[in-house]
Structure 1
Amino acid sequence: MAATSKKLNKRQLESKESKDSGKIVKRAKNISVDSGDEDSDDVLHGLSSEDELDDELDDASSNSDSDELDNESDQLDESDEDQEDAEDEEDAGTGNDADKKESNGVSQHAEQRKTLKERKLQRKSGETVQQIKSLWERLRVKNPPIPKPVREKLCNEIWELSNDCIEDLVLKHDASRIVQTLVKYSSKERREQITLALKDKIYVLATSSYGKYLLVKLLHYGSRKSRQIIIDQLHGNLRKLMRHREGAYVVEDLFVLYASQEQRNQMIREFWGSEYAVFRESHKELTLEEVCASSVEKRNIIARNLIGTITASVEKGSAGFQILHAAMREYVKIANDKETSEFIELLEENFAELVHTPEGAEVASTLIAKANAKERKGLIKTLKEHAIKLIQNEHGAVVFITLLMTVDDTVLVSKAFSPPIKEHLPELIVDKFGRRPLLFLLLGLDGKYFGPNMKNELQRYIKMSETTSKKPFDQRRLELLKRFAPMILSGVNEHYKTILDENIGSQFVADLLVNDDVYEQLSESDQKLFAELVDTVAIYFKGDISEEDHPINKPFSARLLKSLIQNGRYNVKARKLEPLEKVQGLGIPFAEKFYEDIIDSSNLLDWINKPNSSFTIVALYEALHGTEEGEQFDHDLKKVIKKIETNDSNKGAQLLLKLMKH
């Protein structure tokens, strides 16, 4: 019984060794395929190296022996007592069997190595490839760096050997990496020679699991002439490549990183159809709108070609590609209402992948503007999962503003985006792009923050939404402001130190408080929150201003205090201050309280004699001088007037003395 068990275990052991060996080889292949870039040398070399692969096989074999011996021991313990003697004899020979198996495993591995080397040498240019590999191993060493003369000598030797067989090298995993390294370290002239040598293989490289990395290297290190050769060779095949798993990445890199604007336009025209690829020179100056206006039939053909390529690419997982976004932008320009609805349905699950490129953001904003209420609900559901990344992205912020401007269901928008905005409010307020949607809620499309180009773009989306949105533009914004304002006030009050420590954060607080629209949308309880924030800002400036870290020593702090004391917004066009009508607690009340609680007579002179803080005293003088609330301030000011330092660096003190004389 035990002998039979041992025979079974031996067969199981051999079977397990075979399976483990197969798994390791498969792992080696997967690692090699997934990591094509020459710069990832450690990973790429990994298990594809014969010696390391053999080590893995040895480990697997050793583990298999150990597991099977453990199983045998368990079976022996469970045997009948009557067979103990026979089993002891067999057990005594177990060690010898294990040694024999290990010896057999080593010899098998040696035989495998020998066979593998013989096969490689039998391949076309096999011996030459082996010579090239030995040189490449020296060339690719990064630490310590190889001297330039040595590197050039190695490059020359590799090129001499590979010149005649380069087409055989580029489509193989390890050999392709040799050519990548050669491209990286060679001169401009040799790179052009390599490109010319591979001219007829460009399309094959673009669709190869290994060759695509070499093609990207040629684009990256190549000259303008080399890039033009590659673009010309791929011309006419872009639509086919976009549907290819490997080729799509090459086309994307070519479009985003290496093509000129003229070449980009030509690449996009190729998506219109084969006519525009074949006769590219005759259609060079045409725009999509001009072509579609000339013929309904042409419009239908172009729309069909575009949506066909887009659909195939999206289904293959390429929805985030910028060149595809450019093709989508062409499609939405000419799509009718039915086609737009179908397009929204196609992109709904991948909608968030559009917003990180300028072309994709334009597509996303257009679809939001043209979508109906049900479609917008689905798009909002997709976007809310990526809310913070969306808002902080340069192009995503525009998409979010478009959503705020056009969606009538302000309750849905508030519920979807309030929680993530509340959680990340401090970082959004001080983020260059993240603050823009919040500033839109506070001020609308104010020219202070939205330049002419951006305003025109956003107003274009507003016009697109006229047939799908029912509420007036300002009404939507005020409804959203009513829902977001209390949350913003609470968040600023909680994180005021972080926010006021930044220039754009201090500016945001001024826009939040010196704002009739905000105050008007607040309930009575929220108005108390508003007053609490005003007090918080004032107390923030309490302390000894001679200390370097006092907030008044930051130049932007004086501008914040000046805004709160003046209680108005400066109209640049009219060149005058426009006082607020609805906000309570700013202006004279704030100036009086700020002087009593923060400055008073004990440190008034210090505030005047420091360049940054002196302008705050000027603002206090303009607000309080001659008023009943300002009697104490005027009295204290007269006491220190003779001690004021009027040096050239303190413009605020000079202006104060000038005002007092009048």
Structure 2
Amino acid sequence: MAATTTKKRAAKSQSGPAPKKVKKTDTATGKLDTNTTKKAKRSIPVTLTTSPPNDSENTDDEDDWEDAEDDVDFDGQAVDDDNAMQVDSGEGKTSARESHIAQKVLQQSRKAAKPHSDLISEAKRVWALARSQSISASERKKHITDLMNVVRGKVKLIVFKHDASRIIQTLVKYGGKAEREEVCEELKGSYADSAKNRYAKFLLLKLIRLLPSHRTDILSSFHGHVLSRSRLLLHREASGVLADAFELYANGAQRAELVKEFYGKEVALFSQKQDQDDKGKSSKGLIGVLETIGSDKEKKARVLAAVKENLISIFNNPDKGAVRHAIVHCATWEYLDVLGRMQDSEGEDAAKEAEKLRRDLFENCAELLPEMVHTKDGSRVVREFLARGSAKDRKTILKTLKPHIERMCLDDEAQMVLFTAFDVIDDTKLLQKSVASIITTPNTLNTLVKSPQGRRAIIYLLIPRSRRYFTIAQIRALRDTDNARDGVGSTKQGNGEGAMTTGDGTSKKSPEVRQEEVRRGASEALLSWVEEQGAELAREAAESLIIADIMLHAEGDKSSASQALLRGLTTQYPASSTSSASSPSSLSTPVHPLDLPHTSRLYKNLLQGGHFNHSLRTVEISPRWDSTTFAVEFVKIVGGDDGAVIKDMCTKGERNGSFVVAQLCEALVREDASSTQEVKDSREKLKRWLSTSETLKAIEEGEKDGAKGTKVLLDGIGKL
């Protein structure tokens, strides 16, 4: 037997290597085509079951449009070829041809009568050359230069037209910095109008994306138009432009300036006269603005009233779509954050006023909360309502979220709302009915287990905030609502202005009791899922982690699920890889589970009673799992009558079962293992199978050949 030279066992894939990502290249130059790389996109609301509408530059491109030059006039009015001139079907081909000629002449005369028809015709001719996909980079550059010469000084004249707007978009897309800046300068003073135009808005977003040096000027032109004058945020076309600019391209200072319009005209007026220190405070958002105001309670009340009025005006117009945008969520969170601080630290009267304002806002947006959970600030808004709301408020929120639970589980920000619901809601029966029962249906579990977000949603039912699945930043974010839930920092009556104490929280149950009830409610469905599909799912890397933690941390009878997992190991080891003559690469038998590193690790973790903690260098034993019982079942089901499969795991093939069998021996001789007759019988049976001279000799030969785990296995056999 040849000695093994590899030091680490390679993971075997059941579906072959992952395909490499294809990079698009320019057919003429052979260089990477940077214009076809994927652009950033706004986060998609969980309420949308299909792709979002084409309201932004990211979802529309001139290359995807058909050239409708012959079918649309310059006013964007379609010309119907079939109805433009009625033709008697009884006439011959000559009459039909004459009719088409007459129709063409009529169409051309209409075009010629339109303003700037000669300019657009010439621009279209050059545009057709510049946008071709089969030309070299040098040719394209020449055509772009020619196109710039044609439209120079006349961009405003054509950019608002249906098909001519595409010409300028092509110029910006393929042109250099000089051409882009020239177009941007010509549009100066018309940025807000461009945002409201059905066609020019795409050009404006290209300029925002491709010209960072002019981004501040473009976004500054929106000041005074977001909620007043042009009301861009409530405009059908401009709303998407503003949302893309805010969420994808604006920096912190630019976002703060856009959100400032929610604070009212008074803040906008005085912000122009601020010194540098005051500007630094205003960059902190609404809190900074109120710090600048200082102790002027009347002015502070006016600012809060303005924010509330602007938010309610948006919530009262849900058909405009603005409620989905991150800029609205940011302003809403800043408002609720201020109210939360008032409730916690500014005395009893301020706390009552803050609670009244919070309730007024909740009553106006309760039905719209599913539209907000997909952004960071929107998620934080809904979590704040959950943390500080009454039992009735929480029930209302769950009712509105219930149709979208599965999509929320797959969204990084939206799932935080569900996790907070599990953290703060005392009515765990309601949680089980409205949330957990949806997550634990087999179809939903099969969908969730395929993504990291979905796996976090599953595991939160059993071990919330586990560092194995959640980052430190996520855990810190989830802790933000703990103070409101527990009453830490709330103002109690009689403590005076600004007193910080531990008062009555919004939840009565302790976190441990609540988690226990949620875990108990979800365990039965999760174990049933493992029983039905666990053996198959255990063969996949990520899914095997979830299976292990369900077995380790769920509550209830796990015998059926354990037996289902163990039956997956009863196949012949190593798996025979017989193939047909016609297709040598098609295996009729899959790889044995223990030849998959992640699956082998799953069974090892179950036998050792928990996961190995690398920082503490010890196994974290789960109190809800009996590894000894699992070891007894392992011997009974996998070993059978003669132990042939267990012996083969240690003596044949790659011997990848050595570590698992070694841990099996450890589980049966562990000090805390029950000394029942069943355990003793299993130990004796395993010792009889593995202690024969023939088996030991085969294991020792594997050690000589460099097989891993043989020394540990021999030590385990010696303990039996």
Q: What band does the TM-score fall into relative to the shorter chain?
A: 0.7 to 0.9
1:291 corresponding residue in structure 2: 289
Alpha carbons of structure 1 residues 147 and 451: separation in structure 2 relative to 1, 3 Å: closer
Q: Is the 8 A contact 2:260 2:268 kept in 1?
A: no
Q: Is the 8 A contact 1:354 1:361 kept in 2?
A: yes
Aligned: 1:364 with 2:368: no
Alpha carbons of structure 1 residues 531 and 603: separation in structure 2 relative to 1, 3 Å: closer
2:467 corresponding residue in structure 1: 447
Instruction: Return the alpha-carbon distance in structure 2 between the equivalents of residues 455 and 638 of structure 1.
Output: 49
CA shift for structure 1 position 331: 1.6
Instruction: Return the alpha-carbon distance in structure 2 between the equivalents of residues 45 and 412 of structure 1.
Output: 59
Q: How does 1:10-409 map to 2 (within 5 A)?
A: 37-42=61-66, 47-48=71-72, 56-59=80-83, 62=86, 109=103, 112-120=106-114, 123=115, 125-142=116-133, 145-222=134-211, 224-239=212-227, 240-272=231-263, 273-275=267-269, 278-279=272-273, 282=276, 283-286=278-281, 287=284, 288-293=286-291, 294-295=294-295, 296-314=297-315, 315=317, 316-335=320-339, 336-409=354-427
Alpha carbons of structure 1 residues 498 and 171: separation in structure 2 relative to 1, 3 Å: same
Alpha carbons of structure 1 residues 219 and 105: separation in structure 2 relative to 1, 3 Å: same
CA shift for structure 1 position 493: 1.6
CA shift for structure 1 position 649: 5.6
Deviates more, 1:497-506 or 1:159-168: 497-506
Alpha carbons of structure 1 residues 136 and 409: separation in structure 2 relative to 1, 3 Å: same
Q: Deviations over 1:111-164 (max 9, x none)?
A: 6425413312xx2x442232112222332333xx22222222221112112112
Secondary structure in structure 2 of the residue aligned to 1:173: coil
Q: How does 1:453-492 map to 2 (within 5 A)?
A: 453-466=473-486, 467-492=505-530
Deviates more, 1:502-511 or 1:305-314: 305-314
Instruction: Return the alpha-carbon distance in structure 2 between the equivalents of residues 643 and 622 of structure 1.
Output: 21
Question: Higher helix share goes to which structure?
Answer: 1
Q: Which amino acid aligns with 1:614?
A: S
Q: Is the 8 A contact 1:538 1:594 kept in 2?
A: yes
Alpha carbons of structure 1 residues 45 and 538: separation in structure 2 relative to 1, 3 Å: farther
Question: Which is bigger in relative contact order (C-alpha 8 A, separation at least 6)?
Answer: 2
Alpha carbons of structure 1 residues 36 and 441: separation in structure 2 relative to 1, 3 Å: closer
Q: Is the 8 A contact 1:270 1:277 kept in 2?
A: no
Aligned: 1:544 with 2:572: yes
Alpha carbons of structure 1 residues 151 and 109: separation in structure 2 relative to 1, 3 Å: same
Q: Is the 8 A contact 1:625 1:631 kept in 2?
A: no
RMSD in angstroms over aligned alpha carbons? 3.4
Q: Is the 8 A contact 1:514 1:569 kept in 2?
A: no
Q: Is the 8 A contact 1:155 1:186 kept in 2?
A: yes
CA shift for structure 1 position 622: 1.3
Secondary structure in structure 1 of the residue aligned to 2:509: coil
CA shift for structure 1 position 539: 0.7
Instruction: Return the alpha-carbon distance in structure 2 between the equivalents of residues 649 and 238 of structure 1.
Output: 71
Deviates more, 1:249-258 or 1:234-243: 234-243
Instruction: Return the alpha-carbon distance in structure 2 between the equivalents of residues 392 and 252 of structure 1.
Output: 22
Q: Which amino acid aligns with 1:550?
A: H
Instruction: Return the alpha-carbon distance in structure 2 between the equivalents of residues 302 and 163 of structure 1.
Output: 46
Q: Deviations over 1:616-651 (max 9, x none)?
A: 011012123597331232233222222221158633
2:20 corresponding residue in structure 1: none
Q: Deviations over 1:36-74 (max 9, x none)?
A: 752332176584168x988724347549x68xxxxxxxx
Q: Which amino acid aligns with 1:588?
A: T
CA shift for structure 1 position 389: 0.3
Alpha carbons of structure 1 residues 37 and 576: separation in structure 2 relative to 1, 3 Å: closer
Alpha carbons of structure 1 residues 478 and 36: separation in structure 2 relative to 1, 3 Å: closer
Q: Is the 8 A contact 2:55 2:240 kept in 1?
A: no
Q: Deviations over 1:341-365 (max 9, x none)?
A: 2222222222112121112111121
CA shift for structure 1 position 291: 3.5
Q: How does 1:589-604 map to 2 (within 5 A)?
A: 589-599=629-639, 601-604=643-646
Q: Which amino acid aligns with 2:567?
A: I
Q: Is the 8 A contact 1:135 1:158 kept in 2?
A: yes
Q: Is the 8 A contact 2:440 2:522 kept in 1?
A: no
Instruction: Return the alpha-carbon distance in structure 2 between the equivalents of residues 412 and 32 of structure 1.
Output: 38
- Structure 2: tracts of 5 or more residues without a match: 1-53, 340-353, 487-504, 576-589, 671-678
Aligned: 1:636 with 2:664: no
Q: Is the 8 A contact 1:428 1:434 kept in 2?
A: yes
Alpha carbons of structure 1 residues 492 and 297: separation in structure 2 relative to 1, 3 Å: farther
Q: Is the 8 A contact 2:168 2:203 kept in 1?
A: yes
Aligned: 1:556 with 2:547: no
CA shift for structure 1 position 536: 0.6
Q: Is the 8 A contact 2:226 2:261 kept in 1?
A: yes
Secondary structure in structure 1 of the residue aligned to 2:703: coil
Instruction: Return the alpha-carbon distance in structure 2 between the equivalents of residues 299 and 613 of structure 1.
Output: 70
Secondary structure in structure 2 of the residue aligned to 1:386: helix
Instruction: Return the alpha-carbon distance in structure 2 between the equivalents of residues 46 and 254 of structure 1.
Output: 34
Q: Is the 8 A contact 1:624 1:633 kept in 2?
A: no
Q: Is the 8 A contact 1:430 1:499 kept in 2?
A: no
Instruction: Return the alpha-carbon distance in structure 2 between the equivalents of residues 276 and 258 of structure 1.
Output: 27
CA shift for structure 1 position 401: 0.8
* Percent of aligned pairs with the same amino acid: 27
Alpha carbons of structure 1 residues 492 and 59: separation in structure 2 relative to 1, 3 Å: farther
Alpha carbons of structure 1 residues 652 and 106: separation in structure 2 relative to 1, 3 Å: closer
Secondary structure in structure 2 of the residue aligned to 1:462: helix
CA shift for structure 1 position 368: 1.7
Instruction: Return the alpha-carbon distance in structure 2 between the equivalents of residues 427 and 307 of structure 1.
Output: 40
1:71 corresponding residue in structure 2: none
Secondary structure in structure 1 of the residue aligned to 2:202: helix
Instruction: Return the alpha-carbon distance in structure 2 between the equivalents of residues 592 and 364 of structure 1.
Output: 48
1:566 corresponding residue in structure 2: 608
Alpha carbons of structure 1 residues 346 and 105: separation in structure 2 relative to 1, 3 Å: farther
Q: Which amino acid aligns with 2:470?
A: F
Secondary structure in structure 2 of the residue aligned to 1:289: helix
Name which one, 1 or 2, has greater alpha-carbon Rg.
Answer: 1
